[in-house]
Amino acid sequence: MKNIFEHLPDASDEEKFQMLLAQPNLKIERIVSNGQSTAKGYWYDQEQSEWIMLLQGGAGIEFKGQKPFALKPGDYLNIPARQQHRVAWTEPNMTTLWLAIHYAADSSLKQY
């Protein structure tokens, strides 16, 4: 057993990504940020959907054509495949911790 809050890497110079689980059509990762954002003009445009939860710190997410909005600890959202998005900002003076689940959308999965 491991704890997602333990042994956080220093992300003061760059965001850190740690793979927690990788399976076909599923990837779970821990992301540690400290003041980083997506490069200006760059938009993520992923083939898989992504579910994210902010566990600690603060961050801003921006979808193309919309204003950025803030996330606080406990906030989560689903980003459908091909939805262009970027990290507008993360807290510069504290560790921001994310849980990201990348998955292939499958309409046959039971909805809860």
Residue 24: CATH number of its domain: 2.60.120.10
- Is position 6 within any domain? no
- Is position 96 within any domain? yes
- Is position 9 within any domain? no
Can you give the pLDDT at residue 105? 74
Cα separations in angstroms, 53 against 21, 41, 108: 16, 24, 24
- Is position 79 within any domain? yes
Tokens encoding 100: 């990201």
Can you give the pLDDT at residue 111? 46
- Is position 27 within any domain? yes
Residues 6+ apart with CB under 8 A from 106: 25
Q: How many domains does the chain have?
A: 1
Can you give the pLDDT at residue 107? 52
pLDDT in 10s for each residue of the chain, 112 residues = 999 999 999 999 999 999 999 998 999 999 999 999 999 999 999 999 999 999 999 999 999 999 999 999 999 999 999 999 999 999 999 999 999 999 997 654 454 4
Domain of residue 76, residue span: 16-103
